[in-house]
Amino acid sequence: MALVGRQGQPGRPDGPSGRVVVLGATGFVGRHAGAALRAAGHEVLAVARQAVKTPAAWRFHPMDLVKDGPGALTELIDAKHPVAVVNAAGVAWSSSPGVMRQGNQLLVDRLLAALDAASWRPRLVHLGSVHEYAPQSAGVDLAEDSPTRPVTDYGHSKLLGSRAVLQSAAEGRTDAVVLRLSNVIGAGTPPSSLLGRVAQQLLAPAAPGGPVTIRLSPLRSSRDFVDAKDASEAIVAAMRTPRARGRVLNIGSGTSQHVRVMVDLLIAASGRRVRLVEDTGGTVRPAADADWMRVDVTAARELLGWSPRRSLEETVRDLWNAAAGSDG
């Protein structure tokens, strides 16, 4: 029978350490989660497939759950007795549905198998996505009871992973909570995202005395953007809140912001002269085609005592300073 790692006080340091295993710790969200955990007094056990530079205070454990199976993670949990496991691993917006299924579904299956086999029982905080929901009309918030009918391969693969975690929790096999994150941005935003792509183009050299040219698809969407630091504080809160067990909680800013505003904020933060070109690429999209998102964060506020705190300007400034290699 599994021992429960201080189940009544998840996240509270176990003796002098309060260890937390962070899967995908070298990725964008994983790095921010690890920093927030360290700031909260926890020892970070960083797990990723490849060894890359991590903060000196972290302990790195190379591991490939998909390729090698759950055994190594079971051994790590039993040896280190972490108070929690944060699953920040996954594949975002890959062109291959098969790769997304492996990174967002099969990896979760391996993770749950590792937890089942372990003799120690940590809290699992699984990071899902609001893209697991069906798109809503303009003005309609995404809430935890919104329909889960994703329209993308990414959203579908993330939903399968989240469902597996929730089923395991419902069956009493795992002490778990699922956080469905909105569009996370901040320092280290990947270049595959819209703002990450804009930042990369802003760094390109311009003709002497001329503006730098930014080429994008038409900016028509409105999205809920949440600061990576705010999202990471929600992860720490979810790890420490016993009542969150078995719950789905949405994590976002609670506002919908037009992507053109976000691009303009990033351009302003860069201080560069810009020529912005919106190119349809030969495709025509109906003008009335709504592409809007806002996340209801009431449940996270009430259950976790968490609220987003950082302004869009601060978030975008962090993104630009990191991309430009500046401290601010």
Q: Of the residues 120, 133, 154, 225, which is catalytic? A: 154
Q: Is 133 a catalytic residue?
A: no
Contacting residues for 322 by C-beta, under 8 A, at least 6 apart: 186, 187, 188, 189
DSSP state of 295: B
> How would you label 156-187 residue by residue, b for 16+ Cβ within 10 Å and e otherwise?
bbbbbbbbbbbebbeeeebbbbbbbbbbbbbb
Q: How far apart are CA 183 and CA 224, in angstroms?
A: 6
C-alpha to C-alpha distance for 164 and 10, rounded to whole angstroms: 21
The alpha carbon of 183 is separated from its chain's Cα centroid by a whole number of angstroms, namely 8
Terminal alpha carbon distance of the chain: 51
Tokens of 216: 């994008």
Active-site residues, by number, are 154
